[in-house]
Amino acid sequence: MLSRLAESLYWIGRYMERAENTARLLTVNYYATLETSGQVSEEWGPLLDISGSKENFVRLHGRADGRTVPAWLAFDRNNPSSVSSSLAQARENARGLRDRIPSEMWECLNRAYYDLCFQNEEVLDRDGLFEFCSAARDTSQFFFGIAFATLPRDEGWLFMRAGQMLERGDNVLRLVQTRYRSHAADPAQLAVHNHRWIAVLKTASAYEAYRKCNHANVSPRTIAEFLLLNPGFPRSVRYSGENLHDALAGIDRIHPGAHPALLREAKWLVARLDHATIEELIARDQAELGTLLTDFNRIGSAISASYFTV
């Protein structure tokens, strides 16, 4: 497969996962601010850390509140992590692959582009943020469902899967890291923090799955352990790391021994997650969470350098 095609599929996987993650983040936080009136600014600020777009936001908008942050994360094309930007970039990558991917995948992206990517802050004026985010989330799930059902399990599938899992692991790590940092800063407000940790579960679409495993215990430690290390939950960091490695191993079978250092890096990440304990990950001011996030980003950079640099 040409590196251009592989790169497009890889970034489609990343952008579609990013659009869904951001849409979930906005939806859950929208309801959290309704339930904790009077602390709106405090609730919206951490979303910028989770999305990794705080520096650009501060430079362009300054104040983080219930108007500027949703507009930045949902509609602003100056933000490469916004829902609109992610969907538009996914469509642009797919446009050059229309003869290489099932027509249903293209139609899904093209329809979402025209339905969602020209929306603006008027959505907030009519209180339509929930509908916008729900449509974006459903688009991502529909797209990956079509891909799962129709895309051949070849090199293209593996690159798209690698991009999806890399983005998912990165997002959940940022989510847990940001919330745990806030939790450690003010442990006196236990009830408020527990409420926010339930929101973390809902942001990762993990609330029902977590409650099946932990009927009575809702604590930051057990929630963090579930989202980071649970081997069977498909949005946990461990699951993402394992599936990222499997995708890269599949690519390596097609190109035997082409990039052994990259595969070793992915295998080392899996080994760390397999043998880590939650105490190790959240100890010492959560330094290990930062290390894991760096590892995911390093693998992403290595994929680009190994397969996409001409």
- What are the pLDDT digits (tens) for 17-62? 999 999 999 999 888 777 665 554 457 888 998 998 888 899 888 8
Q: What is the mean pLDDT of the chain?
A: 90
163 pLDDT higher than 60? yes
Average pLDDT over residues 249-271: 95
- At 248 the pLDDT is 97
Q: pTM for this one?
A: 0.93
Give the C-alpha separation, 108 to 11, whole Å.
Answer: 16
- Weakest mean pLDDT among 48-57, 140-149, 150-159: 48-57
Is pLDDT larger for residue 16 or for residue 51?
Answer: 16
Segment among 79-83, 254-258, 281-285 with least mean pLDDT: 281-285
- Look at residue 63 in the predicted model and tell me its pLDDT: 85
In whole angstroms, what is the distance from residue 239 CA to residue 209 CA?
14
> Which is more confident, 52 or 144?
144
DSSP string, the chain: --HHHHHHHHHHHHHHHHHHHHHHHHHHHHHHHHHTTT-HHHHHTHHHHHHT-HHHHHHHT----TTHHHHHHHT-TT-TTSHHHHHHHHHHHHHTTTTTS-HHHHHHHHHHHHHHTT--THHHHTT-HHHHHHHHHHHHHHHHHHHHHHS-SSHHHHHHHHHHHHHHHHHHHHHHHHHHHHHHH-TT-HHHHHHHHHHHHHHTT-HHHHHHH-SS---HHHHHHHHHH-SS-TTSHHHHHHHHHHHHHHHHHHSTTS-HHHHHHHHHHHHHHHH--HHHHHSGGGHHHHHHHHHHHHHHHHHIIIII--
pLDDT, position 40 = 46
Please state which of the ranges 117-126, 194-203, 232-241, 287-296 shows the lowest mean pLDDT: 194-203
| Contact indicator for 105, 9 with CB cutoff of 8 Å | no
pLDDT at 299: 97
Q: How confident is the model at residue 113 (pLDDT cuts 50, 70, 90)?
A: very high
The pLDDT of residue 126 is 93
* Cβ atoms of 103 and 94 closer than 8 Å: no
The pLDDT score that the predictor gives to residue 189 is: 62
What whole-number distance in Å separates Cα of residue 267 and Cα of residue 261? Answer: 10
Portion of the chain with pLDDT greater than 90, in percent: 71
